[in-house]
Amino acid sequence: MIARSLKWSRHNLFAKPFDVLLSLTVIPGVLWLIWQIAGWALTVAQWDIIPQSLRVLMIGIFPVDQAWRTWVAAMIIAALLGAALGCVFAFRGRHAGGLLLVVAVALVLTGTKGLANILCVAALVALFGLSWALISRVPAARRGLVPASFVGLIAIFAVMAPPGAGLWGGLLLSILLTLVTAVVTLPIGILLAFGRRSRFSSVRWICTAYIEVMRSVPLIMVVYWIWILMPVLTPQLNLADVVRGMIGFTLFYSAYVAEYVRSGLQAVPRGQTEAARSLGMSEFDINRSIVLPQALRVVVPPLVGNVLDIFNTAPLVFIIGLTDFLRAGQMILANPQYGDRTYEVYSFLFLTYFLVGSLITFVARKLEKHLARGSR
Amino acid sequence: MSTIVEMKTLNKFYGSHHVLKNIDLSVARGEVVVVIGASGSGKSTLIRCVNGLEMYQNGSLLVDGYPMPVEEDRLLGGESELAAIRKGVGMVFQQFNLFPHKTVVENITIAPMRVHRKSKAEAEATALRLLDRVGLKAHAHKYPGQLSGGQQQRVAIARSLAMEPHLMLFDEPTSALDPEMIGEVLDVMRELAADGMTMMIVTHEMGFAREVADRIVYIDQGAILEIGKPDAFFDNPQNERARAFLARVLKH
Ligand SMILES: Nc1ncnc2c1ncn2[C@@H]1O[C@H](COP(=O)(O)OP(=O)(O)O)[C@@H](O)[C@H]1O
Ligand SMILES: [Mg+2]
């Protein structure tokens, strides 16, 4: 064991003089940093601010007496995410154990007060697990997934809308924005990608121009433009800031999804289309049943990566006055009473973003392997 | 006997490259026509014109009673005949081109269900019957990637047959196969010929060509140089280039 680790360190840390130098400076440096951080986190930091302001971090300034609406929204989201996971990973018994562990950890970490909240967290995780199991065990249920996700999103809007869309905020807003963008950009991106290959040059030209324009401007620009344009274009609609933000994100990311899908379409051999044509199939049927499924298979991993991109750029909605997760943290710090807790709050934000980000990356990796195995 | 394919002074260009030159060829129902010629001579292009995978610029082409529109008309949207023609013409490719994300049965049933609006049960019954005919019933629920090349090509033939074609096109169906698998595919094609299927076949298998063909078409640099009965053609080719070609390929 010791011999092994000595050998390992000789190969990886001390192979060349430069490695030795690097190892001797970096390793102590990192150790010192960890020591400092751990020391701060365990002795100096006052973590009580996190449970105290957890509600604001999660749902922003959504009224307390209406909080059940956000729980319903969270449950719909949990069910949708579970279903999405079920499409690619089979649900096993040990996963159920893992989910129980998640509930336990969540309860310990957040010190959730009151029986109602505990039950809600448990229900959330149970729903996630159930829809995961259902979709992975009953493949026929997958057909309903796309319509179900649209219905789910509409239901979320319906249940969250009454107190006023201006009150949406916190992590819930970040996740909602990501989810809506991810789901709506997919069909739009697919249409744009096919449009870019259309035999009608006008369609081709419009789609190409749209994609190229969106890809050559910053996201924040598009979001801001949509925000100021919507009231002018549709004055009678009076769309809420949240909705305008989602439209901006969707318009922007559709172009990126279109490019991913296009790379997938190009990866499908010409022979596939020719064989389907020679069987007399219509171009619509060929694209829908032969070309698209094979193209999407190739681009699922980058598309999952794209979802992470959306989530990580969501804080930009502060420009149109929305209070996403990051902004909610800053809002708490704006309270003079909490002014000295900057590091605690930002540590929590960092860890949460890191956790969600690595989860999505992990899923993307697994997917890549999973699909590579399946296509042999 | 009625004709099923009739090409008259058909010309095809890739840009300025003249690939098919004044092709005159007709195929009778029930006939087996084998097209031979050197690589790059235009054999694939010729048979791909028949089901409209390639467009031709001028001349005329009548398939299964429908006029195949020329390129200009097709680009302007005049493609209604195309769908009708393709329903009656099957094609088998060198690279099999099975749909890798669908099982063998799904590969065979998708077109009858989508194009002929057959019920799933009916399409599957037909598929299993055809798989039995090509000796692959046991593999019905596998994916193409799990089959050998010869098996995949036999599935591809079954897939075409499921559309009940009046004419089958084969573009070098055995050229991508390991030698030991060529025989099983040629056997299926022999049976088809014996059953009276009309076929246009591009192949380099000269023994097979001589055996099943009613007529041999020799094509060189985009022009048909000789058409003849197999025995006459192989024993005593009239065209000089055909003679040189045969001398080259029969030596091996
Ligand atoms: N897509 C294409 N674009 C341009 N030239 C082509 C294309 N396909 C084939 N050709 C040319 O047309 C000629 C005939 O090709 P092909 O019909 O494939 O020959 P064969 O099947 O007899 O080998 C060749 O010279 C080839 O280079
Ligand atoms: Mg060829």
* Residue A154: CB atoms within 10 Å: 11
CA of A298 to the centre of ligand 2 (A): 29
A71-79 mean pLDDT: 93
> Is B19 a domain residue?
no
- Helix, strand, coil proportions of chain A in percent (round to 5)? 85, 0, 15
Per-residue pLDDT band for B165 (boundaries 50, 70, 90) equals: very high
Interval between CA B49 and ligand 1 midpoint (Å): 12
What is the bridge-based pairing of β-strands B89-92 and B167-171?
parallel
Per cent of chain A over pLDDT 70 is: 97
Q: What is the pLDDT of residue A158?
A: 93
Looking at the complex, report in whole angstroms how far the Cα of residue A279 sits from the nearest Cα belonging to chain B.
6
Does residue A101 sit in the same domain as residue A178?
Answer: no
Give the residue carrying structure tokens 């013409």.
Answer: B89
Instruction: Specify whether the CB–CB gap between A180 and A156 falls below 8 A.
Output: no
Rounded to two decimals, the pTM is 0.88
Please give the Cα distance from B198 to B201 (Å, whole number). 10
Share of chain B above pLDDT 90, in %: 93
- Give the residue numbers spanning the domain of B142: 31-42+79-250
Nearest CA to ligand 1 atom 21: B44
Lowest mean pLDDT among A95-99, A217-221, A267-271, B140-144: A95-99
Flag the least confident range among A8-22, A309-323, B28-42, B210-224: A8-22
Q: Which atom of ligand 1 is nearest to the CA of B43?
A: 22
Q: Are residues A190 and A313 in the same domain?
A: yes
Is A250 in the same domain as A313? yes
Over the stretch A34-58, which tens digit does the pLDDT of each residue have? 999 888 888 888 888 888 888 889 8
If asked whether residues A16 and A137 sit together in one domain, one would say no
Mutate to test the pocket of ligand 1, among B13, B19, B91 (most ligand atoms within 8 A of CB): B19
Residue B229 binned pLDDT confidence (cut-offs 50, 70, 90): very high
Q: Residue B156 carries which side chain, given as an amino acid letter?
A: A
Cβ pair B111:A376 closer than 8 A: no
The rounded distance, in Å, linking the Cα atoms of A249 and A356 is 19
The answer to whether residue A54 is domain-embedded is: no
Asked whether residue A40 falls in the same domain as residue A119, the answer is no
d(CA B29, ligand 1 centre) in Å: 28
In a domain, A57, yes or no: no
A208 and A349 share one domain: yes
Residue B24 lies in a domain: no
Q: Which residue in chain B is spatially nearest to A374 when comparing CA positions?
A: B101
**A6 or B139, which is more confident?**
B139
Band (pLDDT 50/70/90 cuts) for residue A363 is: confident
Phi and psi, residue A169, nearest 5°: -170, -175
- The model's pLDDT over A139-151, given as tens digits with 9 standing for 90+, comes to 888 888 888 888 9
Decide: B51 in ligand 1 pocket, CB within 6 A: no
Q: Is the pLDDT score of B227 beyond 70?
A: yes
Region B118-139: what's the mean pLDDT? Answer: 96
Domain count, chain A: 3
The minimum-distance atom of ligand 1 relative to the CA of B219 is 22
Identify the helix (H) or strand (E) that includes residue A139.
Answer: none
Mean of the per-residue pLDDT values of chain A: 88
Residue nearest to atom 24 of ligand 1 (CA): B40
Secondary structure of residue B228 in the 3-state scheme: strand
- Distant-in-sequence, close-in-space partners of B2: CB < 8 Å, separation ≥ 6: B28, B29
Asked if residue B67 belongs to a domain, the reply is no
Does some domain include residue B157?
Answer: yes
Q: Answer yes or no: are the C-beta atoms of A218 and A150 closer than 8 Å.
A: no
Give nearest CA residue, ligand 1 atom 6.
B14
- Are residues A16 and A98 located together in one domain of the fold? no
Q: With respect to residue B21, please indicate whether it lies within any of the assigned structural domains.
A: no
CB A29 within 8 A of CB A332: no
Which of A164-178, B27-41, B48-62, B119-133 has the lowest average pLDDT? A164-178
The CB of B109 under 6 Å from ligand 1? The reply is no
Tokens 């010190």 belong to residue: A111
Q: Name which of A139, A152, A217, A214 is nearest A183 in CA terms.
A: A152
Q: What is the pLDDT of residue B1?
A: 58
Domain count across chain B: 1
Question: Rounded mean pLDDT of B55-65?
Answer: 94
Using DSSP, how many helices (H) and how many strands (E) does chain B show?
10, 10
Is residue B33 helix, strand or coil?
strand
Residue A49 lies in a domain: no
ipTM over 0.90: yes
Tell how far the Cα of B222 is from the centroid of ligand 1, in angstroms.
Answer: 9
Q: Which domain holds residue A280?
A: 165-376
Q: Which atom of ligand 1 is nearest to the CA of B41?
A: 22
Cα gap A319→A224, rounded to integer Å: 7
In angstroms, the CA A207 to CA A193 distance is 8
Residues 36-55, chain B, touching A (beta carbon < 8 A): 51-53
- Segment A186-195 shows an average pLDDT of 96
Answer yes or no: is A53 within a domain.
no
- Confidence label for B98 from pLDDT (cuts 50, 70 and 90): very high
Do A327 and A289 belong together in one domain?
A: yes
- pLDDT at site B228: 94
Q: Do A281 and B91 touch (CB under 8 A)?
A: no
Q: Is residue A22 part of a domain?
A: yes
Query: Dihedral of CA B14/B15/B18/B21: which sign?
Result: positive
Q: How many CA atoms lie within 13 A of B179 on its CB side?
A: 0
Same domain, A17 and A80: no
Name B92's bridge partners. Answer: B170
State the Cα–Cα distance between residues B232 and B215, nearest whole angstrom: 10
| pLDDT for the residue A376 | 39
Residue B137 falls inside a structural domain: yes
Verify that A173 and A216 share a domain, yes or no: yes
Strand pairing partners for B12?
Answer: B20
Domain end marker among A162, A180, A210: A162
Domain containing residue B128: CATH number: 3.40.50.300
CB contact under 8 A, A276 and B111: yes
Residues of A with CB under 8 A from a CB of B: 269, 271-272, 274-282, 285, 289-290, 293-294, 297, 375-376
Does A177 lie in the same domain as A262?
yes
Q: Tell me the CA distances in angstroms from B124 to A38, A139, A277, B89, B121, one per residue in order.
A: 65, 20, 21, 21, 5
pLDDT digits (tens, 9 = 90+) for A274-303: 999 999 999 999 999 999 999 998 898 899
Nearest atom of ligand 1 to the alpha carbon of B17: 5
Task: Confirm whether B50 is domain-assigned.
Answer: no
Ligand 1 centroid from CA B48, angstroms: 11
> Does B185 map to a domain?
yes
Residue A114 is assigned to a structural domain of this protein: yes
> Given A115, A144, A162, which residue is the final one in a domain?
A162
Quick one: A228 and A278 in the same domain?
yes
Ligand 1 within 6 A of B12 CB? no
Q: Taking ligand 2, which is a single-atom ion, which protein residues have CB atoms under 5 Å away?
A: B 44
Q: Taking CA B50 as the corner, what is the angle to CA B46 and CA B53, rounded to the nearest 5 degrees? A: 85
At A19, list the tokens.
Answer: 């490695």
Which parts of chain B are beta strand (E)? 3-14, 17-28, 32-36, 58-63, 66-67, 89-92, 167-171, 198-202, 215-220, 223-228
DSSP annotation of A274 reads H
Q: Is the pLDDT of residue A17 over 80?
A: no
CB spacing of A279 vs B83 below 8 angstroms: no
What is the number of the ligand closest to the CA of B47? 1
